[in-house]
């Protein structure tokens, strides 16, 4: 999301949420219509393409599937903006986007295999994707927790995993801390969740300057 989305009125957020919902519905309807038209064209007018129909369906599912998942993630983003700020809503959107893409790929793989084999392929691919993005999703969920629970905020003087400094940013994967010598430290969010968080008084920071 652009930086201009960080400060908005409730009415503007509601308008953008409505637009996101409309876009989601349009993508779903477009996919159904296009898939039906392609099916009709292949079966009635170009039967020679029938052996390749499954691949055409996969391409359609991938293209429209990504658009639908992305639009749904946008709906989640704007729904979150009613109660939370831009970083928190963006973090939630990214989590849903990652999960949606993984489910889309696993579902398509299962459909290609068909029957029990399809379920096995989809399940196996889902496990593979799960292991592949486990670290990223773990950090994303931890970042989302930090943004929602707010044990510290930007500008606080903290000690995280032995790193003493000022919180400069809390993103979806990393928390950025600037030390007294100007060094920027990127700390994985899942490491922060599992360790102690020290909130240091402001006067201690002032004494270091």
Q: How do the pLDDT tens digits run along the chain, 209 residues long? A: 444 455 678 888 888 989 999 999 999 999 999 988 888 887 777 777 767 777 788 888 888 989 999 999 898 888 888 777 777 788 778 878 877 877 777 767 666 655 444 445 455 555 555 555 556 666 677 777 787 778 888 889 999 988 999 998 887 778 899 998 989 999 988 888 878 899 988 744 444 44
Residue 115 is predicted with a pLDDT of 46
Give the three-class secondary structure for 92: helix
Determine the Cα–Cα distance for residues 57 and 54; give it in Å rounded to an integer. Answer: 5
Predicted confidence at residue 23, as pLDDT, reads 93
Say what the pTM is: 0.59
Is the Cβ–Cβ distance between 171 and 143 less than 8 Å? yes
What the chain holds in terms of domains, given with CATH numbers, is 3-132 (no CATH), 157-208 (2.30.30.60)
The pLDDT assigned to 92 comes to 77
C-alpha span between 29 and 22 (Å, rounded)? 11
pLDDT of 178 reads 92
pLDDT score for 2? 44
- Render 18-37 in DSSP notation, one character per residue: HHHHHHHHHHHHHHHHHHHH
| Bridging pattern class, strands 157-160 and 163-170 | antiparallel
């Amino acid at each position: 999301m652009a930086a201009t989305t960080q400060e908005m009125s409730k009415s503007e957020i509601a308008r953008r949420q409505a637009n996101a919902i409309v876009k989601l519905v349009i993508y779903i309807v477009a996919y159904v219509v296009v898939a039906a038209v392609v099916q009709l064209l292949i079966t009635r007018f170009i039967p020679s393409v029938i052996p390749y129909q499954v691949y055409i369906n996969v391409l359609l599912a991938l293209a429209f599937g990504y658009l639908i998942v992305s639009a749904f993630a946008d709906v989640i983003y704007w729904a979150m903006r009613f109660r939370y700020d831009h970083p928190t809503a963006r973090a939630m959107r990214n989590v849903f986007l990652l999960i949606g893409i993984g489910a889309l790929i696993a579902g398509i793989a299962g459909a290609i295999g068909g029957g029990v084999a399809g379920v096995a392929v989809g399940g196996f691919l889902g496990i593979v994707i799960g292991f592949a993005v486990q670290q990223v999703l773990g950090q994303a969920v931890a970042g989302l927790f930090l943004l929602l629970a707010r044990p510290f905020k930007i500008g606080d003087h903290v000690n995280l995993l032995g790193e003493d400094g000022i919180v400069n940013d809390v993103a979806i994967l990393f928390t950025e801390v600037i030390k007294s010598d100007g060094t920027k430290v990127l700390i994985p969010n899942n490491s922060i969740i599992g360790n102690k968080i020290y909130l240091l008084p402001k006067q201690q920071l002032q004494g270091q300057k």
